[in-house]
Structure 1
């Protein structure tokens, strides 16, 4: 017969609290992983995927069960395969984390640029058991980078074209002006030398003509040099340089300067950029406007100084946007670099005005 019972009671409150805390911690971790805005994926030491969060699945267009069991190399772009394998082997053998920009292949076959930060997961003895990676979609960054690189290559080509144009202009200036003066001087000097050799009388006018040609050559050399670095350090230097600019003989279209009295730019850097803007606008007007006259106008305004280049040519074509060319972009860059604003507008009845507004 059963004559009684013995009950043994063990207090498991602490254990239950620990289990509950562990379960809550796991639930929180699971929620963080699956609600993360970054892709998170875990793999074994063979690279097989053992878990993937919702973000990673959506990035690649797979369901979770479709990814589980695949290796990370099956979804890696062939062009990035070798580097991915090399870095994964480093995690397995040396437990070294890595960061890598690479391409995955989505389920639809499209390439996806991502940034991968992978780390080893170790057991209590410090031995690597698996790996986990955080994946961030950088497709938009790569597209922007590619756009900027294409734009930079285009700009490099246009800058080289501008450089070639400037070299041709300097060569033409040297040929058409200075070289002609030097040729004339050489011719007259030979003539005088022959007269001396033949003991003939040398006319004073011939010597004076040689001296005049030399002086003209010096003036032309100074004009060309002024074009390379035109603005003197003194405040009135800009107006002086603009006056010399409009008088250069090689302009196909007549140019003139209109400037307020006692106008000056104190900052030599600002003055140099304004000169370059005016010169680029004059070049463009001569090249494209088919104008009869170009006016460079510099005046005071209530907010500062206005420098304008105005032509009476054909104006801006209806099917062309103002400021779409490389010349405008260069002028706009110069204006921004000195805190100014550049504006290009058609004027009535016809023509174009390029204006740079410089604040006080």
Structure 2
């Protein structure tokens, strides 16, 4: 009697379907390095079936790598359509049914993941560089980069005591250079804005990154026979210095200055300042491009990786995707015909009624975007929620799509970045106060002593030295003010209310602006991290009002309800624009990050009584562990 096949053996067709549905590339390689089988994902990546080809050659692996018994993943770089792709491979040794050794290789395209890691690293390094170079460069948004470059040119131009400082960039074809940003000394009118690349001296084109082009006398440069100094420099210019700008190994233009005053010797300090400015300029251009990339990436991710649910106007879920079902620890059968509100019952704390109200507003056709802290078992998760009503031809809501994303990990990263920024601010503040402040004080004392010595010799010289001493003391006061702005008042032994009172007094003194702060006497915040973040939120909100609202008064109100703090900041300025995109800047985003970091929320609303608006924050008295 013949024995039946093992009933537990999977059907080959089903197995192939399963292997083809796996998102990784799968290949089977024999002992001769020949690919004997591959799945559909692999064929799609290479644009063909690759059986019979050499695995090592195709995947750009060294022969010894494939023979390694190491359990670590192998990495290789292969080119597809002229683009380098980074692949990660895991190898499983196996003996086939013919008792021959084969390797099952699981390969994954990790190019985008590695690029994102590098991009994040670049952004962190970039923020650190900006902190060291210029306080105003911290948290600059993409739309402000051009105006900030103009300010850098103004600062460097005045420092160098030159006639014009400028940034000149190549066009796309590379045949022309245009001065895109410049600063000119008063009374100087430039005569050159665009020039031909062919007119540049050959020696300039060979200069590498950070190599200086020093021109003591523009008339002595060996120009192209078809061009002279007048094709390159504006009329009246005697001396110049240029630094080529390189981004990702490609020369994109030059930064430099020109002067009607002859400069025979270029000091090391002058060279250093323009080298740093060149580096900062390139970083700012790259940051602008990075903002665009991040914006596009966030839109793609939000659409492809969200947790989706579809429910009717009675709030009954009709369908949901796998990510949504898994997050709520349900099965596909359990999710059908369940009330959407029941999934959030007793999981949102004080925000539950607010969220239910938002669902009802979506039934009325309103697009909703919000964030909620969701209690998942014993851990809090921050969810980004979007509610999209589907309207019929009559404009009535037929159903609502809920798109949610778990952004807890991102918020934890934001919190760590904020902590790094805080430490950097503190470090700079201490350095300003203890180092630069003391150095300036020493110079002021020496100036006073010199003035006293000069008085018997020349009263006029003594008075001039006294004026220098006054200028140094003014600089000491400015350094002290900057250091106090960078270091929280907590470091000076003040309680939270005293910190904010000090801010209010400073604002009234420096800006002639009435600032009223009212706090519930029963509030006692013991968590220093909450004190720190609330302090910075208030400080940023007040600075935003000063810069944008044209207000004459600010009110800060803080109350406590149960274990939650409610903070509102209101001004009497010109009001919030209807265009929310123009109102949302980096400062507002950082305030939101700070609120998230302490388990809270931040909302910006129009003020019914007039004025720029209300910034409303709700957070716990003690930070909850995520």
Please list the CA deviations of residues 21-66 of structure 1 after superposition, one character each: whole Å capped at 9, or x if unmatched.
Answer: 38x788746742553233432223332212223443345442xxx4
Question: 2:44 matched to 1:71?
Answer: no
Tell me the equivalent position of 1:325: 585
Separation in 1, partners of 2:129, 2:614:
27
Separation in 2, partners of 1:96, 1:273:
47
Tell me the equivalent position of 1:355: 616
* 1:84-95 → structure 2 map (5 Å cutoff): 84-88=62-66, 90-91=67-68
- 1:231 aligned counterpart, secondary structure: helix
- 2:594 aligned counterpart, secondary structure: helix
Selected match of 1:258 from 517, 542, 552:
517
Tell me the equivalent position of 1:43: 29
Question: 2:35 matched to 1:52?
Answer: no
Separation in 2, partners of 1:169, 1:326:
25
Preserved CA contact (<8 Å) 1:75 1:105: no
Separation in 1, partners of 2:522, 2:131:
31
What TM-score results when the alignment is normalised by the length of structure 1? Answer: 0.62
Tell me the equivalent position of 1:119: 92
RMSD of Structure 2 on Structure 1 (CA)? 4.9
Tell me the CA shift for residue 259 of structure 1.
0.6
Relative to its length, the structure with more strand (as a share) is: 2
Please list the CA deviations of residues 146-182 of structure 1 after superposition, one character each: whole Å capped at 9, or x if unmatched.
Answer: 346435533543455456426599959x999xx79x9
Selected match of 2:126 from 141, 151, 157:
157
Tell me the CA shift for residue 120 of structure 1.
3.2
Selected match of 2:104 from 132, 138, 146:
132
Residues 151 and 308 of structure 1, relative CA distance in 2, 3 Å threshold: farther
Please list the CA deviations of residues 4-24 of structure 1 after superposition, one character each: whole Å capped at 9, or x if unmatched.
Answer: xxxxxxxxx3xx42xx538x7
Number of residue equivalences: 300
Selected match of 1:306 from 551, 562, 566:
566
Q: Which runs of 5+ in 1 are unaligned?
A: 1-12, 195-216
Q: Which runs of 5+ in 2 are unaligned?
A: 136-424, 456-475, 622-626
- 2:58 aligned counterpart, secondary structure: coil
Preserved CA contact (<8 Å) 2:29 2:35: yes
Tell me the equivalent position of 1:197: none
Separation in 2, partners of 1:295, 1:122:
76
- 1:248 aligned counterpart, secondary structure: helix
Separation in 1, partners of 2:90, 2:601:
45
Report the structure number with the largest CA radius of gyration. 1
Which is worse superposed, 294-303 or 268-277? Answer: 294-303
Tell me the equivalent position of 1:339: 599
Please list the CA deviations of residues 219-257 of structure 1 after superposition, one character each: whole Å capped at 9, or x if unmatched.
Answer: x979965962313799x9211111111212674352412
Residues 33 and 147 of structure 1, relative CA distance in 2, 3 Å threshold: same
Separation in 1, partners of 2:550, 2:129:
27
- 1:21 aligned counterpart, secondary structure: coil
Separation in 1, partners of 2:483, 2:531:
18
Separation in 1, partners of 2:128, 2:573:
26
Separation in 1, partners of 2:29, 2:480:
74
Tell me the CA shift for residue 272 of structure 1.
2.4
Selected match of 1:99 from 50, 73, 79:
73
